[in-house]
Amino acid sequence: MHRYLLGIVLVQILTALLVWLGLTGSGEFEWLRVVLPCLCVAVTAGFWFQSLGRQTALSEIARIKESHAKEREGIQVSAERAKQKVLRDAHKQITREVGKARSGANIKAGTMFVAMAGLGSLLMFTQFMTLGLVAMSTAGGALGGYLLRARRERAALPSGEKQLPVESGRSLSRIVRRRA
């Protein structure tokens, strides 16, 4: 505003000075001596005001672009945070579901081993010694293999990291969908 005010005051002073100088003389083309310099002052002032307006508009556009860039960056950061939160929550949910599926499988496997050992003991008491020993050693071997596999899986993981296993060729998403 102060830039425009200075220009307006300067144009009025120059115009008043030119009119005063033009009125002091006499003749038939004296008005031409006043109009031409006033026209030059008006054109110069118009270009000056246009330049000031363009500069003001460009600085305002730059300010708005900067504020939009900051806002866009804030939106991107919040979207990235939300994405990470969704991924973390999904990972927790999948881990929970896999844990449920694994505990169910562990209960079934344990029940099978106990049943096999019980059958072996029953066969040994009923005088089927060889068949009872075979049943008990099969149950013991299967239990040992199961425990060895679990120990190797835990030892293969880096410390503190949990791996989501894919069991026997089935995809994890199928396991989770089937459990849900």
Q: Using one digit for the tens of pLDDT, what is the confidence trace for 112-138?
A: 777 777 777 776 767 767 777 777 777
Alpha carbon 76 to its chain centroid, in Å, reads: 6
**Position 60 pLDDT exceeds 80:** yes
pTM of whole model > 0.75?
no
What is residue 170's predicted lDDT score, i.e. its pLDDT? 47
What one-character DSSP code corresponds to residue 66?
H
At 25, the pLDDT band (50, 70, 90 cuts) reads: low
Specify whether the CB–CB gap between 106 and 96 falls below 8 A: no
User: Residue 99: pLDDT above 70?
Assistant: yes
Given a contact cutoff of 8 angstroms between Cβ atoms, the answer to whether 164 and 98 are in contact is yes
Q: 28: helix, coil or strand?
A: coil
CA distance 93 to 95: 5
Cβ–Cβ < 8 Å for 131, 123: yes
Read off the pLDDT of residues 37-48 as tens digits, 9 standing for 90 and up. Answer: 778 888 888 888
Number of domains in the chain: 1
Most confident among 13-22, 48-57, 154-163 (mean pLDDT)? 48-57
User: Could you tell me if 121 and 106 are in contact, meaning their C-beta atoms sit under 8 angstroms apart?
Assistant: no
pLDDT at 150: 78
**20: containing domain:** 2-179
